Structure formats: structure tokens, C-alpha cells
Structure 1
Amino acid sequence: MTSRAGPLPEGLGESFTCAEAIARDVTRRRLRAADVEAPFRGARLRREEPAGDGDAAAEPLALDGRIRRALLRTARAYASVAPAGSFFVGAAALAAHGLPMRSEWSGRPLSVAVHPPAHAPRGRGVRGVKISPRMVTVCEVDGLRVADAVTAWALCGSWLSCDQLVVLGDALVCVPRDERGRPHPERRRATLDELRQATGVPWRRGRERLTAALELIRVGSMSPLETESRLVLTRAGLPEPDLDVEMRAADGRFIGICDAVYRRQRVAVEVEGSHHRTSDRQWNRDLDKYAALAAAGWEVVRLTSRHIRGSSPQAPHLVRAALERHPRG
């Protein structure tokens, strides 16, 4: 029967090197205790309590946050023992820039890059790559050296699908809004022109997929599900809607912001994630907005992931039916 391990020194962070711990009189035996992870040689992580299994933990935003946190925890642990001049690309770089995460990225080796002629790092949990300086711009985000947002996206052309690149691209070029709905273009991560320039670098791997994605990226999709809904609708032959539209009544009164709008038919499409039903504030705000839109003569089509995803999505049928009920003016 093993005794309970004593607390680690307060000065050690969430991740630390074995050398740092030993310098604070932590024994090697203590570094092998159950509350400490050893993701890389010479590096340690304080072990986290497993996430709960409740409904809230399974929601997309919560899952996205867990994946991002896990990637960044592991990246910071490796950064403490990483070779000089190395930097993160792939999922860890995307996580550092706050871009949408995918569940299959959990548990994969970190992609760690160097510029030639340095040797690519090797070891358990790491996939080392060499990347020419002309292919990537390196920056620092919260202490981590990573590919900047634009070239992190461009480097994904070699391993992500076109649709996945569109989701990331939409997230990069979207104009954030504050809690009052005011747009802040100065906060967006990239412009379409910057993505085009990164795609056009000679010998860029995955250029064909990146170019195809550029044709589909739009300013105005505020979530991955909104991007997916637009792709599903347009591939079914429906016209492209206007995105992220400020809606007003006839007297100019502000009603709210709609995800997608067909102006001539006066049809608005709202893409609703789980937070629309789990947040009382969001739920009541939605009800007020839909009532105001109906009073102003708009029909609202509300879509969830069940309508958008799957082999036979219902979203195109629902939107087409609404458009047919409102012939063009």
C-alpha cells in the first residue's frame, strides 16, 4: 500500500521540468507519483481531475474548450524541454489562436517544427517536421512559439479536408461582435487577402485544397455549425444568404442579429447550438427576437445540428420550403 504523496512546491507551475523540480528538493520518486504525468522525457504535468459526464460537459462549446485546454497543457509541457528555435504547428497552433477544435485531434502527437538545417525533434508524443521560413511566420501566444494564425491555416492544407479548411477560414476572417452586438473588425485574426497570399507561396503543400477552400470562405459565419449550414444549403442548389445581418424594424428599431438572411424573400435562418436551449438568457433573447421578426414580416427558419449534419440533412428542404412560401418581391 503506497502512502499519499506530499504536495509539490507552490512555485512549480502546471507544467515543469524535472530539473526545476529537483532544484526545489522534489525527489525523483515524487516525480513518479500518480498525481503527476510524464508526457515527455524531462517534463512533468500536474494531473487533472477527469471532466464530469453530465450533459453540459458534452456540449460542443464545452468539448471544444476541453480539447483546446488539453492541447495547450501538453504543448506547454513540451515547450519546457523543446529544442531551441522550435515552434508548434498543426492542432496545437490552431488551439493557441482560439480556432475551432475537432475531437479526433485529442491524444495525437504534437506537431513541432524547426527551420532547416536544424534536426526535426523526435520522441514519444512528438511529430517533428522541417519547415522553410518562407512557408511560415512564427509568433508567440501566451508564451508558446507557434505558427501565426494565417500560416497555421495554410500549413493545414496538407492534412485537413476542404470543408475543415473552410470552417477554420471562416473563423479566421469573421468580424467579432461584443456583448452588445457591435462589430469589431480590428479583432479579427486574418483577412481573405492574407489567406490568399499564404496559399500562393511557391511549393505550398495542399495548395489545391487551400485554393478550393478560399472560394468557399465567407465573412460572417460565427461558428462551425453556421459554416456547415451554409455549405449544406448552397450545395443543395439554394442561393447564398447574407450573413451576420443586423435586423431592424420599419421604424429603424434594432431587433437583433440573424445568422443568415434572404432579404428579397424576407426569410431569416437561425442556426442554434445547444447554448440556445441551456442558457435562460439566450432562450429569452431568442424568443423576443423571433417575435419582433415575425411582427416585421419575416419568417424565421430555425436549424440545429440535427437538421444540418448527417447523410440526408433536412436543412435544405426546410429553407427551400420557406423561400417558396415567399416569392421574390
Structure 2
Amino acid sequence: MIGDLDEAVGRLAAAQHGVFARRQARELGATGEAIDWRVTCGRWEALPDGVLRMPGAPATARQAVMAATLAYEGAASHSAAAALLGIPGFSLRPVEVTVRRRPYRVAHVAIWHRSRVLSESHLVVVEGITTTSTVRTVFDLAGRLHPGRAERVLDTVLTRNPALVKEFHSMLPELACKGRTGIAVMRELLKRRGPGYIAPASELEARALAALEAAGLPEPIRQFRAGSEHEWIGQVDLAYPDHRLLIELDSRLHHSSLVDMEHDKERYSALAAAGWRVIQATWNLVTRRPERFTALVREALDLHPAFV
């Protein structure tokens, strides 16, 4: 029986980054005395708030998050959830957990948030850790981020999975209780992101679109397939097809060709032969000299009568 218990708890801990809750050990048949005896003799290691660890299990950031979710019977949330979900720019530490009710014990192992609305549909399991879903996590982050960064996080998520836009709109009324931070920001962002919305493919593209909008210029078509009547040349970030104008965005770190050809000279020759004009917009041009960038676009558009 002792061996069976230790084996069962060992399997559980292995699936939970080396930790388990005291209540979980009880569910597997351990008595309070059996648990205390194993802690005393060093078979198990006691952590704060009723969490235990297998000796030798490496103390990792994921283990800390797992331990906090077990201690508070909640879900990893906010920055910790974003990191687990692979949203760029966030860290597992400090550990943050969202709970439905105030924890019985409160040790300083994590930052905890109480939410009256935390249904099962708002939760997922990532690497064995109960975590707020991608959509719920973005709503939570919107309450603390600058609106501009919240928008970039939202578009990053929608770039990866455009179908989530429907879930964002569905969750908005669920969370739109009086006084909840971030709801006003999300409501405004979602007004411009309905069905069929295509998120910017990069931060540079988002900055370029924002600059064009601020300058009062028409919204370009994104991810446009450029070519002639008889030949497809490649896909470009931004385009004004009626004006035969393409905008090629170059990243901060390297030149990323937007058309599928080997050399710039060949690319531009093919585009010119097909009647296209190209504006190359670098990170510095778009972000540090947006007025120059928009002036170039305005001048190019004014060469044709549609916007005159």
C-alpha cells in the first residue's frame, strides 16, 4: 500500500512540474499522518500553502506557477498566462493567479486576483498548468497595459488565430461589469475588429497603418498579391491597387522581401514592367519620421486622379 501511494503521487508530481497539493495526496489515499511522516523523513518537501514537492525536482519558473495554482486553487493569469501561452513580451515571474474566491491561506508565493467571472470556458491547460485562455488573458492584460500596447497584443493574437475575433466579441458582454478595468479599451479596439478582420502581420505594419490613418490617408489593402494580368509576382504588405502603388515594409533587423524573387533589381524590374510603383518604408522612416513616410504616400497617390 505504501509503495502504491508513493508511486501514484510520483506520477502525479511528474505531470505537475514536481509539485502536488496536500489535498491531492489525500485524494490518492494518504492520511494526514502519512503525509507528515513523509515530510519528516524527507520523502516529500513541504512548500507554502499546502503544496508539496518531490525531492530533487528542479525549482523552475513553471514549477512556481504550478505551485501557486495548486495553493490558491486558481488559474495562472495576466503576465504569467501570457508567457505560458507564448504571447511575446511577457514573463512567468512574478507569478500571477486568478481565483474565484479569496484564498483561505495567503502566502507571498504569487500575486492573486479575484474574479467573480471565471467560468470553465475561460480556462485552458498549458503544460499541465490551469491557465486563463488566450482571449481571457488579453482582456485581463488590457486593464493594466497602455492602450497602444494592448492593441499590439490583441493584433499579435489575431495574427496567429484570426478566428478568435468571434470569441473576443462573445466574451466582451460576459466581462463588461461596472468598474472592470480594461473593458473600455477592449470595447473600443473590438469596434474596429469585426468578422473578417485581418490583423497587421508585424508591429511595423501596425505602425505604418496607424501613421496613414493619422494623416487622413485611405486605408490600404493588406497582404496584397501583386503582379500583372498574366503573372503573379508576389505578396506585399500594403497596396493601393487603383493607383498601382505598393508599400514594402523593411524590418528593423533585416530586409525582408515582400515578393518572391531573389534579387531586388529583378523584383523591381518585374513590378515596374507590370505597372507598379514601390515605396520602401523602413522601421526608422515609419516610426521616427512618420510625417515623411505619409508625405511620400500622399505624393504617390496624388500622381493619379482618384484622390485629387
CA distance in 2, matches of 1:304, 1:232: 13
Please state if 1:141 is matched with 2:126. Answer: yes
Paired letter, 1:255: I
Give 3-state SS (helix, strand or coil) of 1:256's partner: strand
Aligned twin of 1:61 = none
Paired letter, 1:127: I
**Aligned partner (choices 208, 219, 223) of residue 229 of structure 1:** 208
How far 1:151 moved relative to its partner? Answer: 1.2
Matches within 5 A, 1:109-148: 109-118=94-103, 122-123=107-108, 126-134=110-118, 137-148=122-133
| Conservation of the 8 A alpha-carbon contact between 1:258 and 1:268 | yes
Please state if 1:270 is matched with 2:258. Answer: no
Under a length normalisation based on structure 2, what TM-score does the superposition of the two structures give? Answer: 0.68
How far 1:137 moved relative to its partner? Answer: 0.3
How far 1:166 moved relative to its partner? Answer: 2.0
| Conservation of the 8 A alpha-carbon contact between 1:260 and 1:269 | yes
CA distance in 2, matches of 1:278, 1:255: 15
Paired letter, 1:192: V
How far 1:95 moved relative to its partner? Answer: 2.8
Please state if 1:173 is matched with 2:173. Answer: no
Aligned twin of 2:235 = 257
Gaps of 5+ in 2: 1-13, 20-37, 46-51
How far 1:127 moved relative to its partner? Answer: 1.8
Distance 1:152 1:106, change over 3 A: closer
Under a length normalisation based on structure 1, what TM-score does the superposition of the two structures give? Answer: 0.65
Gaps of 5+ in 1: 1-11, 27-40, 48-72, 177-187
Deviation beyond 6 Å, 4+ runs, structure 1: 22-26, 41-47
CA distance in 2, matches of 1:298, 1:323: 12
**Aligned partner (choices 315, 320, 324) of residue 298 of structure 2:** 320
How far 1:97 moved relative to its partner? Answer: 2.9
CA distance in 2, matches of 1:157, 1:119: 28
| Conservation of the 8 A alpha-carbon contact between 1:293 and 1:299 | yes
Number of aligned residue pairs: give it: 260
Distance 1:116 1:258, change over 3 A: same
| Conservation of the 8 A alpha-carbon contact between 1:266 and 1:326 | no
Distance 1:134 1:109, change over 3 A: closer
Please state if 1:305 is matched with 2:283. Answer: yes
**Aligned partner (choices 153, 161, 177) of residue 138 of structure 2:** 153
Distance 1:91 1:25, change over 3 A: closer
Paired letter, 1:267: L
Matches within 5 A, 1:182-193: 188=161, 190-193=163-166
How far 1:269 moved relative to its partner? Answer: 1.4
| Conservation of the 8 A alpha-carbon contact between 2:65 and 2:76 | no
**Aligned partner (choices 72, 77, 82) of residue 89 of structure 1:** 77
| Conservation of the 8 A alpha-carbon contact between 1:158 and 1:206 | yes
For each residue in 1:35-93, what CA deviation from the matched residue of structure 2 results, as whole angstroms up to 9, or x when unmatched? xxxxxx9799979xxxxxxxxxxxxxxxxxxxxxxxxx63x131342242322222232
CA distance in 2, matches of 1:98, 1:270: 28
| Conservation of the 8 A alpha-carbon contact between 2:236 and 2:247 | yes
Higher helix share: 2
